[in-house]
Amino acid sequence: MAVEVCVKAATAAPNVLGDCPFCQRVLLTLEEKKVPYKTHLVNLSEKPQWFLEISPEGKVPVAKFDDKWVPDSDVIVGMIEEKFPEPSLISPPEVASVGSKIFWAFFTFLKSKDPSDGSEQALINELKALDEHLAGHGPFIAGEKITAVDLSLAPKLYHLEVALGHFKKWTVPESLTHLRGYTKLVFSRESFVKTNAAKEYVIAGWAPKVEA
């Protein structure tokens, strides 16, 4: 029995998978566990009525378990783990929050119009902390095997790379070799390639926030 998941459709391309890192996290979890699933692409700029009935807040992802629709990627991933425990993707508690501040630091820097406001340095500090962690524990955050913390962080790092490359002509510093190796490793995984939004849709998704 396949799990049903509602995910974001691409901006201006309603039949193509869109650029939501939280949706990708859910799809990655299903792929890594080899759980059969069916995706429903939702056009978030014109939300259909059927979708608002199952997700009154109009947010994705939502997933269906036992005839009940469940919102929030944290909750969904937890339920997938519970219902399909093999292979386990549980991250050891001591690494569960590694990299958790990167997405907000990226967003702040992306929106920043003032080069002297410290937002770039704040992002570099977070990325440096991740690089140092990977230097001692890699290749993945919890060591030899991929776990939930990687599946949450990897889509956000992809958005960071694409959006900052496009809007700010910015790249992750060359000196962060462990982080660069990590992104290369994760982005090339079959599960990631299969669930990833094309770069132009990531750029289209961030454009309104950058221009705001």
Just list the catalytic residues. 20
Please report the DSSP string for 104-122 in residue order.
HHHHHHHH---TTSSHHHH
Distances (CA, A) of 78 to 47, 70, 71, 181: 26, 11, 12, 28
Compute the distance between CA of residue 212 and CA of residue 205 in angstroms, rounded to an integer: 13
Instruction: Fill in the DSSP letter of residue 90.
Output: P
Compute the distance between CA of residue 51 and CA of residue 165 in angstroms, rounded to an integer: 33
**The two structure tokens encoding residue 187:** 């982005």
| CB distance 26 to 63 below 8 Å | yes
Residue with the two structure tokens 């939930």: 148
Compute the distance between CA of residue 137 and CA of residue 94 in angstroms, rounded to an integer: 12
- Give the type of residue at 196: N
For 83, residues 6+ apart whose C-beta sits below 8 A from its C-beta are 65
Q: Which residues pair with 4 in a beta bridge?
A: 38, 64
Compute the distance between CA of residue 170 and CA of residue 98 in angstroms, rounded to an integer: 23
